[in-house]
Amino acid sequence: MEQEHINPARPRKVVLAPLDPVHDVGLKLIRRKLVDKGHNVTLLPPDLSPEEIVSRAKSEDPDFVMISRALSYGTSELLARFVDLCDAAGLRERAKLVAGGLSMKPEIAQELGFDAGFGPDTPVEVAVAYVEGEDVDLSNGSRQQTKVDLTAGFTYKFLDSEIGSLCTGIARQLICWANKRTSPGVERAHLRTAMEAERGCSPGYGQKLRSQYASLSSGEVKQWYCTGKPVSHTRPITQKEAGEIQSLSRKAGSPAFPRSQDILNDRNVFVQYGTGCPVMDAYHIYLSTAWGAKGVIHFDPSWGARNEGLLEQAWSHEHDGTVLTLDNLGLIKNGLIPGTMWQVRAHRGLNTPETVVLAHLAGADLTKINIVYGSLGAGTDPERLAVDGVEAMKLAARYNLPYDVVTNEELCGVPAAKAFAGMLVVVTAGVLLGGRPLLQPLFANSPEGMITGFTEHNFVDFNVAKMKVLFSIIDAPIWPGAPVGFLTQTQDRSQSSVMTALHAALALDCGAAAVTIASSDEAYAGGPITAPSRIDTLKATGAALRFFGNGGISPTPKAEAIAHELREAIAAVLRQIAARGDFVSSLYEGLLGDREDGAYPGRSGKGTVSLKQ
């Protein structure tokens, strides 16, 4: 019958029995945990016959009988016979029967007739929780996944007053400058909000708004709005595809979705998706979550950065990046396991404010806004992205949507000090606008690391130094990446997985609120990322976290020295910008990264900013 509500404080009587001459290590571990929690545990000696176990268990009148046995075709019959004996002997009138061991899983436990089954990947705590009557979801051996607020508990106060005051001054100037300006990106964000509000209200909804929208678009997107001709390499999603996602969403929504590893349960590990096809994405998301991913990040096609405007309706794309439309997001959202965190981001370009609108309308948990990287490392005009970025931050604040601010310009060669100065200014502006930004420093072997020799002897010191310096400057959440381990992964999947896993473990050890990991295909450019490659790095990250546990990772004293050096360099950059008196000009003039560093102010959207009427 229904498992009664058990008072965890009440000691339970548990009989543990190895139905195996050698396999009782797991039971001894469970015994220790149960005894520590005050339960009354009897561990029977190994190698008793099923009849002897039943007889001895019966004399104990236990609440639980837990059996361990490595499973094979022959031994499963033995376990089934044991279950029958317990049943007929009346043991089950009171006791729950639990099976554990290699190859054991809930489906096999059910087939054999046990009340629960735990495999080798099940944490001992789950078995203990089961005994204590906590509502463990036995179908996946773990608790329900729940979303967390990555920004909770952070005050956003500057701990470094000099840097704080410099950032605040510069950020105020940026906001003030942007407030006077507008752009097609800003206009479209407002149009999109109005268009979506009208959707479904009347036939031919928002025709006027749509033609206005089209006039603010460019390239193939504009062509689609005007003529209906699809963007290259895209085609509408078919009924069959939508149906497939729908049927997958039923499985994903079911509490019984099988989980492979639980070690990532309380770690916020994100993976990116964006195969181009929402159906494939839905499967990749589903399996990534099954292997422990706590959150997923939407990647759109790279042309999304260069074209003014976003499409409508549901589309499949033959190349990397899944087209960013509200309909596509709606389909993908359907397939998310409840409790999965979801970041919707745009490709660092001309559609930043509208992406925030779509993220909000689609019900995403997070978005991404990057002014400096987008303008110095990703081809968008700095003035344009400054105007759009500030508007996007205002919208995110209005929607109470946290967002990350990334420093991927480090990948171009921009030194961390300059990149961090830019990130800190943008984050400060975000906070001043009422938002909840997350710092996203590159956590990798950056070109700077290679050139300066910071990463010559290890990858730990430089990355730890970055985290240290940021935590010493501001009380804000850090979500490094993205993804972690850039430029350390090779096409070898073992090497790639190990590098990703160690970077993730190090970042979390340093206090990161979350990490984004790549697949083991990170360095392979010959084709789309495959499902097993996603699992590779999730498994590896789980293993690395298990290995380090709470043991901690110690950097050498060099980390402290680098952190100190970085702090001074960040302050120096900020002083220069403050002296220049104009953030956007500083971007053009190379104060946050120049040609020598590998940064080039982008041209996409140049000349599109206008002063507000």
Partner 1 sequence: MSVKHRILDGCDVETFMLCNDLEEGKALGLRLMAELGFEDADVVFCEMGGPGVRIRLRGYVYRPSADYRWYGLEVE
Partner 2 sequence: MKVVGIAGTAKNTGKTTTLLEAIRFFDERRKKLFITGIGYDGEDFDNLTGLPKPRVFVPEGAVVASALPLLQSSPARFDDLKDTGVRCALGRIFLGRVTSPGRVVLAGPASTRDLASVAALAPEDSIVLLDGAFSRISPMVVADSLILATGAARSRDSHRIAREINAIDTIMRLPVMKDVCTGGNKVIGDGVLNVSGGLFLPGQGQELAWRLNGTRKPRTVYVAGIINPLVLLEALNEMGLNRSGGPGHVASVSFIFDHPIMLLLSGDVLQWERVFHILYEAGLKTGVLGSMALLGATVNPYIPLRSGAGKYIATYVPPESFLGDITNLTRVPCTDIILEGPGKLQSWLKRFLD
Contact set with partner 2 (CB under 8 A): 1-3, 51-52, 54-55, 58, 71-73, 76-77, 80-81, 83-85, 87-90, 92-93, 97, 103, 105-117, 137-139, 250-251, 254-256
Q: One-letter amino acid identity for 153?
A: G
- Closest distance of CB 252 from partner 2, Å: 10
| Count of H-run helices and E-run strands, the chain | 23, 16
CB of 566 to partner 2, least distance (A): 51
Taking the C-alpha atoms of residue 600 and residue 613, their distance in angstroms, rounded to an integer, is: 31
For the record, the structure tokens of 574 come out as 């900020």
Q: Least distance from C-beta 121 to partner 1, angstroms?
A: 22
CB proximity list for 550: less than 8 A, separation 6 or greater: none
CA distance 587 to 594: 9
Q: Residue 235's binding partner, choosing from partner 2, partner 1, none, with beta-carbon cut-off 5 to 8 A by kind?
A: partner 1
Instruction: Confirm or reject binding of residue 530 to partner 1 (CB under 8 A).
Output: yes
Contacts of 300 (CB under 8 A, 6+ apart): 274, 321, 322, 323, 324, 345, 346, 347
Nearer to partner 2, 96 or 192 (CB): 96
Q: How many Å from the N-terminal Cα to the C-terminal Cα in the chain?
A: 72
Partners of residue 273 on adjacent β-strands: 298
CB of 442 to partner 2, least distance (A): 41
Closest contact distance (angstroms) between CB of 80 and partner 2 is 4
Name the token pair of 90: 């009346």
Q: In this structure, are residues 397 and 379 in contact, taking their beta carbons and an 8 Å threshold?
A: no
Q: Name which of partner 1, partner 2, none residue 498 binds, using a CB cut-off of 5 to 8 Å depending on partner kind.
A: none
In angstroms, what is the minimal distance from the CB of 317 to partner 1? 6
Q: Please say which residue, 45 or 243, places its beta carbon nearer to partner 1.
A: 243
d(CA 298, CA 274): 6
Omega before 482 cis (within 30°)? yes
Least Å distance, CB 329 to partner 1, is 17
Q: Which of residues 249-308 bind partner 1 (CB under 8 A)?
A: 275-277, 279-280, 283, 287
Closest C-alpha among 396, 373, 286, 264 to residue 331: 286
Q: What does each C-alpha distance from 328 to 50, 357, 498 come to in angstroms?
A: 56, 14, 33
- Answer yes or no whether residue 490 interacts with partner 1 by CB under 8 A: yes
Whichever of 90 and 434 has its CB closer to partner 2, that residue is 90
Question: What is the smallest separation between the CB atom of 74 and partner 2, expressed in angstroms?
Answer: 10
Q: Which of 247, 254, 313, 400 binds partner 1 (CB under 8 A)?
A: 247
CB of 232 to partner 1, least distance (A): 13
Among 527, 549, 551, 607, binds partner 1 (CB under 8 A): 527
- Which of the listed partners (partner 1, partner 2, none) does 527 bind, with a CB threshold of 5 to 8 Å by partner kind? partner 1
Length of the chain equals: 613
Q: Does 531 bind partner 1 (CB under 8 A)?
A: yes
Q: How far is the CB of 494 from partner 1 (least distance, A)?
A: 9
**Among the listed residues 106, 57, 54, 62, the one whose alpha carbon sits nearest the alpha carbon of residue 85:** 54
In the list partner 1, partner 2, none, the entry touching 190 (Cβ below 5 to 8 angstroms by class) is: none
Angle of the 73-88 helix axis to the 50-60 helix axis, nearest 10: 40
| CB 23, min distance to partner 2, A | 17
Sort 552 into a burial class: Cβ within 10 Å, 0-12 / 13-18 / 19+: exposed
**Cβ proximity of 537 and 520 under 8 Å:** yes
Give helix 416-432 / helix 460-473 axis angle, nearest 10°: 30
Q: Which does 21 bind (CB under 5 to 8 A by kind): partner 1, partner 2, none?
A: none
Q: Does 492 bind partner 1 (CB under 8 A)?
A: yes
DSSP 3-state of 204: coil
In this structure, what is the dihedral angle of CA atoms 600, 602, 603, 606, given to the nearest 10 degrees? -120
Q: Which is nearer to partner 1, 286 or 486 (CB)?
A: 286
Residues between 216 and 235 with contacts to partner 1, criterion CB under 8 A? 235
* Number of residues engaging partner 1 in binding (CB under 8 A): 28
Residue 521 within binding range of partner 1, rule CB under 8 A: yes
Q: Is 96 in a helix, a strand, or coil? A: strand
Helix/strand/coil for 371: coil
- Window 323 to 342, contacts with partner 1 (CB under 8 A): none
Q: Which does 110 bind (CB under 5 to 8 A by kind): partner 1, partner 2, none?
A: partner 2
Applying CB under 8 A, which of residues 317, 345, 360, 539 lies at the interface with partner 1? Answer: 317
Binding region for partner 1 (CB under 8 A) out of 17-25, 138-146, 237-245, 393-401: 237-245
Element housing 186 (H / E): helix 184-198
The binding site for partner 1 (CB under 8 A) comprises 235, 240-241, 243-244, 247, 275-277, 279-280, 283, 287, 316-318, 490-493, 521, 524, 526-528, 530-532
